[in-house]
Amino acid sequence: MDLLLTGELDAAERERWRAELAAALAGALPGARLWCDGESFDAAAIGVALAANPPPGRLQRLPNLKLVHSLWAGVDRLLADPTLPPGVPIVRMVDPAMSAAMAETALWAVLALHRGFFAYARRQRERRWQVHAQKRADEITVTVLGLGQMGLAAARRLDSVGYRVAGWTLQPRPPADDGIVRHAGADALPALLAASDVVVNLLPLTPATRGLIDARFLGALPLGAGLVNLARGAHVVEADLLAALDGGRLRDAVLDVFAVEPLPAGHAFWRHPRVTVLPHAAALTDPRRHAGLLSAAGGGAGRGQSSIVHS
Ligand code: GLV
């Protein structure tokens, strides 16, 4: 059986992935060959696609595909391909190390918003020595949208340093004894947002969550709130976000994801004084852990985990 590494990777990323995967395959599935897009492989021999958001239609060209293994945790773009081969399971990366990295990014962003460190960075650029008032963590309410692997890890990390943490999901979740106050459904959102100092978005992108963070959502926040988007750009109506920043409703936004990536050079977010831009780097897949799945498949010690999301 052959494997195809397919999708959006730049040359350096592709070579890094190829090296890790090839080493894992040599131990786990000797004889299996690993191919990359653009090479002259036999499409009928490909049984597994290692997928980094391949363009729609590419997987359809592999007639004997048995499994699609996403390199990434979010599979919204894979699932949006109308030509996905029916019956072929799609698994996504589920890695506690990735959830921990996401929780670190959420914690950094919330701390910086709560303590006004972004404002101090702006003042440094102006050589302005000016102290602002300081609040305790337990005076700050953080709402985490989405309580999947990453959302829960972030919510628990924030709770562990003393923030008042609320979690919101579209559908109700069973209660848990972990300090996170759970809310569910669209009706719960306005009151929850009105009480939130910071909102951290870690929702999956689905038709129900696309565009959720719009003028109405932002208008429900208290004046001076902070927004941290670590999920998908399409959750946010970018023009509404800019209006909320310029109108003062939002004091700061920390954005890791955008409607168009890489963020175009002329985009207003790059230059906005109260937007912090990250290059979709809040939690990266570690190729060694993904390759560990292949070792596991061959009986070796697996280091990552995967989860079936579609079949
Ligand atoms: C990153 O956004 C991922 O889906 O892994």
Burial zone of 31 (CB within 10 Å; 0-12 exposed, 13-18 middle, 19+ buried): exposed
Q: Whose CA is nearest to atom 4 of ligand 1?
A: 74
Q: How confident is the model at residue 301 (pLDDT cuts 50, 70, 90)?
A: very low
Check residue 303 and give its pLDDT.
40
Q: Verify whether residue 232 is a known catalytic residue.
A: yes
Residue from 50, 71, 72 whose mutation best tests the ligand 1 pocket (most atoms within 8 A of CB): 72
Burial class (CB in 10 A: 0-12, 13-18, 19+), 47: middle
Q: pTM for the complete prediction?
A: 0.92
CA–CA–CA angle 257, 95, 285 (5° rounding): 45
* Ligand 1 atom nearest residue 71's Cα: 5
Q: Looking at residue 296, what is its pLDDT?
A: 63
Cβ contact 151:144 at 8 Å: yes
- The rounded distance, in Å, linking the Cα atoms of 250 and 273 is 12
State in Å: Cα 54 to ligand 1 middle.
14
Model pLDDT for residues 76-113, shown as the tens digit of each residue: 999 999 999 999 999 998 899 999 999 999 999 999 99
Cα 190 to ligand 1 centroid, rounded to whole Å: 28
Percent of the chain with pLDDT strictly greater than 70: 95
Mean pLDDT of the chain: 93
Terminal Cα-to-Cα distance of the chain (whole angstroms): 20
Q: Which fold has domain 2-95+285-310?
A: Rossmann fold (3.40.50)
Amino acid 292: pLDDT = 74
Torsion over CA: 232, 251, 274, 237 (sign): positive
pLDDT of 260 higher than 90: yes
**Could you tell me the fold of the domain covering 97-277?**
Rossmann fold (3.40.50)
Spatial separation of the C-alpha atoms in residues 95 and 101, rounded to whole Å: 10
Q: How far is the CA of 193 from the centre of ligand 1 (A)?
A: 26
Tokens describing residue 49: 């696609």
Contact 91, 67 (CB under 8 A): yes
The reply to whether 2-95+285-310 and 97-277 are identical in fold is yes
The 3-state secondary structure of 7-19, one letter per residue: ECCCHHHHHHHHH
User: Cβ < 6 Å from ligand 1: which residues?
Assistant: 72-74, 285
Written as six digits, the tokens of 174 are 């069973």
Q: How far apart are CA 221 and CA 195, in angstroms?
A: 7
**Residue partners of 44: CB distance under 8 A and separation at least 6:** 62, 63, 64
3-state secondary structure of 276: strand
Domain boundaries, the chain: 2-95+285-310, 97-277
pLDDT at 266 over 90: yes
